[in-house]
Amino acid sequence: MAELPKRSDDFRSVLMDVSVVGAGHVGLVTGACFADLGHSVVMMDNDARRIAKLKRGIMPYYEPGLEELVERGVREHRLHFTTSMKDAVAKSTIIFIAVGTPQKASGEADLAYVDTVARAIAEHLDGYRLIVEKSTVPVQTGQWVAHTIKTYLKRKHVFDVASNPEFLREGTAIQDFMKPDRVVIGVQSVRAKRLLIELYKPLGAPIVVTDMNSAELIKHASNSFLSMKISFINAVAQVCERCGADVEQVAAGMGLDPRIGRAFLNAGAGFGGFCFPKDLEAFIKISEQLGYNFELLKAVRNINEEQKRSFAIKIQQALWVVKHKTIGVLGLAFKPNTDDMRYAPAIDVIKYLQEEGATVQAFDPQAHHEATTLLPGVSLCRTAYDAARGADCLAVLTEWNEFKELDFRRIKALMRQPLIVDGRNIYDPQRLKSLGFRYLGVGRGRVGSGHRGPV
Ligand code: UDX
């Protein structure tokens, strides 16, 4: 479990009335954290069932530490839940918009929820408010939000719009909020700037103040850059496999250069989650609409698609034929410490294997609920050992800590063939080989076809 920050009595700041619209991953963490900093927070969502559950302390998703934080906020009367926009507007000075911006079939971000919320805020506005977009949005959305509110205002009121992108990672969202590397605020007025600086001052992080368009771009550019690092190392891994080098050693050697850095250079079965694939696509699209063909990002996306496919093919080649074979899968979530399976590489890999006629049995510590709907043909096991039972191959797709400490003698005895295909490079190849396993990682020595140099 993540270590919770102590109740924040030592933080000194002017306490404010804040509303957060949208109780999703970003909104709920944002609201719960602001409440913990001492502010009075109204969490608004139009999903009545979600709000009713939150009032009873039931979280809509798993995030380490969140339940305790929400419980504390509610108990100490700083965190309130509502389905009423009127309430949310009435009881706040600063309103955060944290609703979803899902991907349209075309790849661009669907901003319908943001538009609806902007219109609803306009309808209830009764005096000055600062409206802050927290959702990840394409550049120029803030300008549209301001225009929309102005258009739908019932009476003339002064308001500000600002952009304050989030950089929360699932699984460590609370620490990311409480101890950010930086806080980015894109503002159009001194009043908005002062309010946001006051709000974030207690966190002690560098505050980057920009115009709205730049703040919006910082978010898309950052996520795309990180995706690019992953695709880069995955492409290097492909070369490693063709020449017998080890990508882990290559990444370690590269990462020591502070201009490069070791973070996000972990090769594997590709990146997933609700941010990287979606933001990458949206950034490609908005660049296109602005008249720029962002070829580099298209390559980042294509390498990622190919990485998932090539991982499935690696399993297939190791087994010669996968039809009627049993594949045990360890990990379904798109990364550890979350139950989130949105765009998880496990989905594509498993679907490929199923299409080839394999039987798939899987274990994930948190994601079974999601897997039931997303992967109906997969039997979900109670433990990692059950996933290994009778399997011809054990494939690792999420690097949960508990998978690092398995009893491999037991695993070997349970499997039909001692083959481990490690899509997150969590095991020591030598150790597994010495225990009698056939081990294939990603970018760790020679596999498959391609150029065969001297051995
Ligand atoms: C990301 C950003 O990190 C965060 O700043 C932003 O606000 C939201 O998007 P998140 O999607 O929660 O956060 O996960 P992250 O830890 O960044 O990982 C994303 C994906 O990349 C995962 O599938 C992960 O397995 C993969 N990954 C990450 C790699 O394959 N290799 C790496 O080196 C790092």
Atom 6 (ligand 1) nearest CA: 167
Average pLDDT over residues 282-309: 97
Mean pLDDT of 149-172: 95
pLDDT higher than threshold 90 for residue 379: yes
Task: Tell whether 162 is covered by a domain.
Answer: yes
Q: How far is the CA of 230 from the centre of ligand 1 (A)?
A: 9
Averaged pLDDT, 64-85? 97
Q: So what's the pLDDT on residue 168?
A: 94
Q: Among residues 192, 206, 136, 141, which one has the least CA distance to residue 162?
A: 192
In this structure, the residue with its CA closest to atom 32 of ligand 1 is 264
Over residues 354-359, mean pLDDT: 97
* CA dist., res. 201 & res. 441, Å (int): 45
Residue 111 identity: L
Task: Please state, in angstroms and rounded to a whole number, the distance separating the CA atoms of residues 347 and 345.
Answer: 5
167 and 280 within one domain:
no
Compute, in angstroms, the gap from residue 33 CA to the centroid of ligand 1. Answer: 21
Domain-embedded: residue 370: yes
pLDDT value at position 455? 34
- Over residues 57-80, mean pLDDT: 95
Q: Do residues 173 and 295 both lie within one domain?
A: no
Q: What is the pLDDT of residue 9?
A: 44
In a domain, 426, yes or no: yes
Contact 333, 341 (CB under 8 A): yes
Distance (angstroms) between ligand 1 centre and the Cα of 169 equals: 7
Shared domain for 181 and 293, answered yes or no, is no
Instruction: Give the CATH number, domain containing residue 421.
Output: 3.40.50.720
In a domain, 333, yes or no: yes
Report in angstroms the alpha-carbon separations of 98 from 43, 45, 342: 10, 10, 18
| Tally of domains in the chain | 2
Location of structure tokens 């550049």: 139
Choice from 276, 339, 399 to test ligand 1 binding pocket (greatest atom count within 8 A of CB): 276
Flag whether pLDDT at 190 surpasses 50.
yes
Ligand 1 pocket mutation, candidates 66, 227, 230, criterion most atoms within 8 A of CB: 230
User: Order of strands across the sheet with 393-396?
Assistant: 379-380, 359-363, 326-330, 393-396, 419-422, 438-440
292 and 421 both lie in a single domain: yes
In a domain, 238, yes or no: no
Average pLDDT over residues 424-448: 92
Instruction: Say if residue 167 is in the same domain as residue 282.
Output: no
List all residues 6 or more positions away from 428 whose beta carbon is below 8 Å from its beta carbon: none
Cα 117 to ligand 1 centroid, rounded to whole Å: 28
- Residue 141: is its pLDDT beyond 70? yes
Q: How confident is the model at residue 448 (pLDDT cuts 50, 70, 90)?
A: low
Question: Does position 13 have pLDDT exceeding 80, yes or no?
Answer: no
pLDDT digits (tens, 9 = 90+) for 222-238: 999 999 999 999 999 99
16, 110: one domain: yes
Query: Residue 28 domain-assigned?
Result: yes
How confident is the model over 401-405, as a mean pLDDT?
97
Return the ligand 1 atom nearest residue 170 CA: 12
Ligand 1, CB cutoff 6 Å, lining residues: 166-170, 223, 226, 230, 264-266, 268, 271-273, 275-276, 334-335
- Percentage with pLDDT > 70 across the chain: 95
- Both 293 and 203 in one domain: the answer is no
- Name the band, by pLDDT with cuts 50, 70 and 90, for residue 447: low
Whether the pLDDT of residue 451 is over 50: the answer is: no
Query: Rounded mean pLDDT of 42-55?
Result: 97
* Residue 301 one-letter amino acid: R
pLDDT of res. 445: 80
Mean pLDDT score, 272-290: 95
Q: How high is the pLDDT of residue 11?
A: 44
CA–CA distance, 101 with 360 (Å, rounded to integer): 33
Do 422 and 296 share a structural domain? yes
- pLDDT grade for 64, boundaries at 50, 70 and 90: very high
Supply 43's token pair. Answer: 């969490």
Closest CA to 173 of 95, 91, 61: 61
Q: What spacing in Å lies between the alpha carbon of 297 and ligand 1's midpoint? A: 16
| The amino acid at 299 | A
Give the pLDDT of residue 335. Answer: 96
Residue 3 has pLDDT above 80, yes or no: no
Residue 18 placed within a domain:
yes
Q: Pick from 181, 210, 239: which residue ends a domain?
A: 210
Last residue of a domain, one of 150, 178, 210: 210
pLDDT at 449: 45
In the chain, % of residues over pLDDT 90:
91
SS (H, E, C) the chain: CCCCCCCCCCCCCCCCEEEEECCCHHHHHHHHHHHHCCCEEEEECCCHHHHHHHHCCCCCCCCCCHHHHHHHHHHCCCEEEECCHHHHHHCCCEEEECCCCCECCCCCECCHHHHHHHHHHHHHCCCCEEEEECCCCCCCHHHHHHHHHHHHCCCCCCEEEEECCCCCCCCCHHHHHHCCCCEEEECCCHHHHHHHHHHHHHHCCCEEEECHHHHHHHHHHHHHHHHHHHHHHHHHHHHHHHHCCEHHHHHHHHHCCCCCCCCCCCCCCCCCCCCHHHHHHHHHHHHHHCCCCCHHHHHHHHHHHHHHHHHHHHHHHHHCCCCCCEEEEECCCCCCCCCCCCCCHHHHHHHHHHHCCCEEEEECCCCHHHHHHHCCCCEECCCHHHHHCCCCEEEECCCCHHHHCCCHHHHHHHCCCCEEEECCCCCCHHHHHHCCCEEECCCECCCCCCCCCCC
Q: Are residues 202 and 315 in the same domain?
A: no
Residue 216 lies in a domain: no
Instruction: Output the average pLDDT for the chain.
Output: 94
Atom number, ligand 1, closest to the C-alpha of residue 343: 23
Q: Whose CA is nearest to atom 5 of ligand 1?
A: 167
- Report how far residue 299's alpha carbon sits from residue 443's, in angstroms, rounded to the nearest whole number: 19
CA gap 43, 226 in Å, rounded: 31
Judged on CB neighbours under 10 Å (0-12, 13-18, 19+), 181 is exposed
Around Cβ 290, how many Cβ atoms within 10 Å? 11
Which residues, listed in sequence order, are joined to residue 266 by a DSSP beta bridge?
A: none
Q: Which residues are catalytic?
A: 275
The b/e string for 409-437 (b: 16+ C-beta within 10 A; e otherwise) is eebbebbeebbbbbbbbbbebeebeeeeb
For residue 380, the cross-strand partners are 362
187 lies in the same domain as 263? no
What tokens does 86 get? 């009127």
- The model's confidence at residue 107, banded by pLDDT at 50, 70 and 90, is confident
Check whether residue 289 and residue 416 sit in a common domain: yes
Same domain flag for 134 and 267: no
Residue range 125-147: mean pLDDT, rounded: 95
User: Residue 387 is part of which domain span?
Assistant: 259-448
